[in-house]
Amino acid sequence: MATIQAAILGFGTVGQGIYQILNEKKDQLKESLGLDIDIKAILIRDKTKSRMAAPDVLFTDNFDEIEAIPDLQIVFEAIVGEDPAYDYLCKAIQKGCHVITANKVMFSKHGLELQELANRQGVHVGYEATTAGGVPIISTLKNILLVNQVQRIQGILNGTSNYILTQMRVQESSFQDALEEAKLLGYAEADPFNDISGQDAFRKLMILSNLAFGKQPKWDDVSIEGIGDITLEQVLGAAREGLRFRHVAEIVEKVDGSLHASVGPRLVGPEHPLYAIEGVNNAIALETDYMGTLTLVGPGAGKLPTASAMVKDYAEIIGKRTQILVTI
């Protein structure tokens, strides 16, 4: 049986999740795809840290060593931040690799360029994990767009913010205590600024904008507000009136084709579709022309949901390739 050679860039929570799922699902993937997968190398930041026993895997802090692997076909990228991730993925695509990324900061800015480059090279870019963690919003949106037009996207796109707002109301935790708990559970980044400032939700909204509308609004025109100013008193006061704070990202295409986007907290009542979305869940409502409104709800963060979205991208990309071979 032929074997796909792969590399993982970044070995934090998500990178380790990819490695875990690829091992746990080895037999199932082999059977469904007709191909084995072999993790040849993992790019890490600190080579002196102890690693688990995987004698056949090259642990390196030098991307050149990964680029030099002959017959490398898949690169999973789970690094935080724009650089050097963008540079690595450009090089991987130019080498003829399919790339699969969870990096929303990089992809919200460079997504269209990377996809154009990949088209020219005849490879695929998987980016399901960039937006809403395990919720398959990217493949669902692609599927809907085959026939429907999307007019508005509205959702809770940051699981950490929603977790904090939920804990403040349910546990009467302070903002700071809820944030620390989110960090402990692996929901919040080590530096939670992007989560709580609304920047993370904004970046995901821009990725959805590219897919749904083929373009983005000017970033400076988007009003972005986080949850950092919401006090426990406000949360509990709202709850007494039957209302809940939700951090909502929204984008609408007007009839003249212009895009209007905003990110910020809102108070919603029991009839609002986002009222029941609790904890680390994300929710995305897509308003379409034929299909009405479709809403997806699921875990927006976490090691295994995010990593499973990336392995699913792998199975889709390789599945396409296999299908072609079989059909010929």
Closest CB 120 distance from its own copies, rounded Å? 14
Quick check: 305 binds its own copies (CB under 8 A)? Answer: yes
Q: Which residues contact 176 (CB under 8 A, 6 or more apart)?
A: none
Q: Which has the closest alpha carbon to 156: 20, 250, 260?
A: 250
Quick check: 62 binds its own copies (CB under 8 A)? Answer: no
Q: Which residues contact 232 (CB under 8 A, 6 or more apart)?
A: 168, 172, 173, 174, 175
Catalytic one among 40, 95, 104, 204? 204
- The residue (of 106 and 168) whose beta carbon lies closer to its own copies is 168
* Residue span 148-187 as binding mask against its own copies, x where in contact by CB under 8 A, dash where not: x---------------------------------------
C-beta of residue 302 within 8 angstroms of C-beta of residue 12:
no
Rule CB under 8 A: choose which of 3, 23, 26, 32 binds its own copies: 32
According to DSSP, residue 192 is labeled T
* Residue span 241-270 as binding mask against its own copies, x where in contact by CB under 8 A, dash where not: -----------------------------x
Rule CB under 8 A: choose which of 146, 184, 190, 255 binds its own copies: 146
Taking CB under 8 A as the criterion, which residues in 281-300 touch its own copies? 290-299
Q: Which stretch binds its own copies (CB under 8 A): 60-68, 92-100, 134-142, 259-267?
A: 134-142
Strands (E), the chain: 3-9, 36-43, 58-60, 72-77, 98-101, 125-126, 150-156, 223-224, 244-253, 259-268, 281-288, 293-299
Half-sphere exposure of 64 (CA within 13 A, CB side): 1
C-beta contacts of 170-175 below 8 A and 24+ residues apart: 170/278, 172/232, 172/236, 173/232, 174/232, 175/227, 175/228, 175/230, 175/231, 175/232
Closest CB 81 distance from its own copies, rounded Å? 25
- The residue (of 93 and 285) whose beta carbon lies closer to its own copies is 285
Closest CB 299 distance from its own copies, rounded Å? 4
Quick check: 140 binds its own copies (CB under 8 A)? Answer: yes
Rule CB under 8 A: choose which of 126, 136, 198, 265 binds its own copies: 136
Quick check: 147 binds its own copies (CB under 8 A)? Answer: yes
Burial 251-289 (b: 16+ CB within 10 A, else e): bbbeeeeebebbbbbbebeeeeebeebeebbbbbbbbbe
Q: Is 47 a catalytic residue?
A: no
Rounded Cα distance between 185 and 206, Å, is: 27
Tell me the number of residues near its own copies by CB under 8 A.
Answer: 46
Residues marked as catalytic: 204
Give the residues lining the site for its own copies (CB under 8 A): 21, 25, 29, 32, 134-136, 139-140, 143-144, 146-148, 270-271, 273, 275-276, 278, 290-299, 302, 304-305, 307-309, 311-312, 315-316, 319-320, 323-324, 327-328
